Amino acid sequence: PHAAAWASACRGYAASGEESDVVVIGGGPGGYVAAIKAAQLGLKTTCIEKRGALGGTCLNVGCIPSKALLHSSHMYHEAKSSFAHHGVKFSNLEVDLPAMMAQKDKAVSGLTKGIEGLFKKNKVEYVKGFGKLVSPSEVSVDLVDGGSTIVKGKNIIVATGSDVKSLPGVTIDEKKIVSSTGALALTEIPKKLVVIGAGYIGLEMGSVWNRLGSEVTVVEFAPDIVPSMDGEIRKQFQRMLEKQKFKFMLKTKVVGVDTSGSGVKLTVEPAAGGEQTVIEADVVLVSAGRVPYTAGIGLDAIGVETDKGGRVLVDNRFMTNVKGVYAIGDAIPGPMLAHKAEEDGVACVEFIAGKEGHVDYDTVPGVVYTHPEVASVGKTEEQVKASGVAYQVGKFPLLANSRAKAIDDAEGMVKVISEKETDRILGVHIMSPGAGEIIHEAVLALQYGASSEDIARTCHAHPTVSEALKEACMNTYDKAIHM
């Protein structure tokens, strides 16, 4: 009877040719990288993507378009507030929002088409449609162009990513109440923007609109912004954002939303309870985090285990409890970051191909792309202290860095934490222009178990902002020269 039921379920499907070695559900940073790597390792590979464009949230409505708008808005802000100081004067500065959005859209479409090109080059079969597991070796796909098909694979990788976390009682319409997706596509600059959630996404999107003229208020339930950040860096970061005219309402919860008027009225109260107040906004951005996109894709039908948060449980080879079914990226536990998903994807297919894969989750860098940027890798001082290890800290302010002073962009610092006995680096935290680029020197150092003295004795080009990392390392095991 089971076989008969399965046969009847398959009627009306066009089977997609022969069985693949690897079928990837999801074409985001984890999925498309896994598909390309699998093909490079000689495995017949199919990638299924429901969006009709590759690159996932990151490329279409996340990391890439947000960086485009962060860069464009920074250029406008610099022109408005800094150019005259550098001897560049002009009149009649204005924002052309449609042109700014067009530049962002052009970058996105060029990159998504680039991934399609990489699929063709590596002979990855690309199926556009919504994939759902119907057995441990079969995925039914509702095709974007209509109709359905069955894709068969010896190994299936769930790379379905994550979705915006909704808040109870707050309905996202992507017009007045927006997610990060809507915040990337506003058609006019809101006079007042309220951001619910002080994580990196909210602060980045808040920065874009703040620079373009919005009055930005950030409402956060927790006592701190970006809770994963080193405490000392966080305090300085918050001060810097306040200097940029951000307003923060911490330890505050949203208890009511009224969208009946032209704008939005939010009723808020202290997190611990207390007197309610109403704040008005033209647009409200909900950025309370992300949740795994794992419901409705057939996991329960084939018995794949997930945790309470919907994350797929995997072993150290990325395999689920169902043989032949794997999961990577935002769909499994760990930091919800595109670059982490890429590492998962490569390691997962290496295991499938009979090789050894490896991801070191202790050396995954995190970056907040505000200005200045904040980047970190390894442990915060709070985490090191809690572990009971004796440690030492070295810091260096950007005010003492010649390149930062020369370009008149010297807000920030570098902080290095190393083990007292061995001087092995445990964590590096940077707040500076270009911190997201500089951090990789620290990532490499942690990967190879380097000491602060190793970096301090490595020649750094002068003048560069990177010298601040060298000086912070000098200050960790000995003394900095320039302070």
For residue 22, what are its two tokens? 């690897």
| 292 prior amide bond cis, ω within 30 | no
Q: Which residues touch 276 (CB under 8 Å, ≥6 apart)? A: 255, 267, 268, 269
202 among annotated binding-site residues: yes
Per-residue pLDDT of the chain (483 residues; tens, 9 = 90+): 444 444 434 434 445 578 999 999 999 999 999 999 999 999 999 999 999 999 999 999 999 999 999 999 999 999 999 999 999 999 999 999 999 999 999 999 999 999 999 999 999 999 999 999 999 999 999 999 999 999 999 999 999 999 999 999 899 999 999 999 999 999 999 999 999 999 999 999 999 999 999 999 999 999 999 999 999 999 999 999 999 999 999 999 999 999 999 999 999 999 999 999 999 999 999 999 999 999 999 999 999 999 999 999 999 999 999 999 999 999 999 999 999 999 999 999 999 999 999 999 999 999 999 999 999 999 999 999 999 999 999 999 999 999 999 999 999 999 999 999 999 999 999 999 999 999 999 999 999 999 999 999 999 999 999 999 999 999 999 999 999
For residue 462, what are its two tokens? 């002068």
Pairing of strands 290-292, 162-164: antiparallel
74 catalytic residue (yes or no): no
CATH class of residue range 20-163+292-353: alpha beta
Chain mean position to CA 329: 11
**Same fold across 20-163+292-353 and 366-477:** no
pLDDT of res. 222: 97
Is residue 148 a contact partner of residue 48, using CB atoms and an 8 Å limit?
Answer: no
Unique residue bearing structure tokens 């009682």: 169
Domain 177-288 has CATH 3.50.50.60: yes
339 among annotated binding-site residues: yes
Backbone angles phi and psi of 90, in degrees to 5: -160, 165
3-state helix, strand, coil in the chain (%, to 5): 35, 25, 40
Predicted model pTM: 0.95
Q: Which residues touch 315 (CB under 8 Å, ≥6 apart)? A: none
198 among annotated binding-site residues: yes
388 among annotated binding-site residues: no
Question: Which amino acid is residue 30, in one-letter code?
Answer: G
204 among annotated binding-site residues: yes
| 3-class secondary-structure state, position 314 | coil
201 among annotated binding-site residues: yes
- CA triple 461-371-281, angle to 5 deg: 175
Entry field: residues in the chain: 483
pLDDT of res. 15: 52
- Distance between CA 153 and CA 39 in Å, rounded? 14
| 168 prior amide bond cis, ω within 30 | no
pLDDT of res. 1: 47
Backbone angles phi and psi of 408, in degrees to 5: 55, 50
Backbone angles phi and psi of 437, in degrees to 5: -90, -40
Q: HSE on the CB side for 403, CA within 13 Å? A: 13
Q: What are residue 378's DSSP bridge partners?
A: 427
Give residue-wise pLDDT tens across range 29-42.
999 999 999 999 99
The single-letter DSSP state of residue 482 is -
471 among annotated binding-site residues: no
For residue 91, what are its two tokens? 């009149």
- CA triple 252-175-251, angle to 5 deg: 5
44 among annotated binding-site residues: no
203 among annotated binding-site residues: yes
Q: HSE on the CB side for 375, CA within 13 Å? A: 21
Unique residue bearing structure tokens 């222009």: 433
- Distance between CA 243 and CA 197 in Å, rounded? 19
- Distance between CA 397 and CA 310 in Å, rounded? 42
CA neighbor of 228 nearest in space, from 366, 385, 48: 366
For residue 375, what are its two tokens? 């980047």
Q: What are residue 142's DSSP bridge partners?
A: 130, 148
Q: Angle of helix 29-40 relative to helix 338-352, nearest 10 degrees?
A: 30
How do the domains of the chain map onto residue ranges? 20-163+292-353, 177-288, 366-477
pLDDT of res. 10: 43
Q: Output the CATH code of domain 366-477.
A: 3.30.390.30
The per-residue DSSP string of 277-306 comes to EEEEESEEEE-S-EEE--TTSSHHHHT--B
Give residue-wise pLDDT tens across range 171-216.
999 999 999 999 999 999 999 999 999 999 999 999 999 999 999 9
191 among annotated binding-site residues: no
Marked catalytic residue, from 86, 358, 440, 462: 462
163 among annotated binding-site residues: no
The per-residue DSSP string of 124-146 comes to -EEEEEEEEEEETTEEEEEETTS
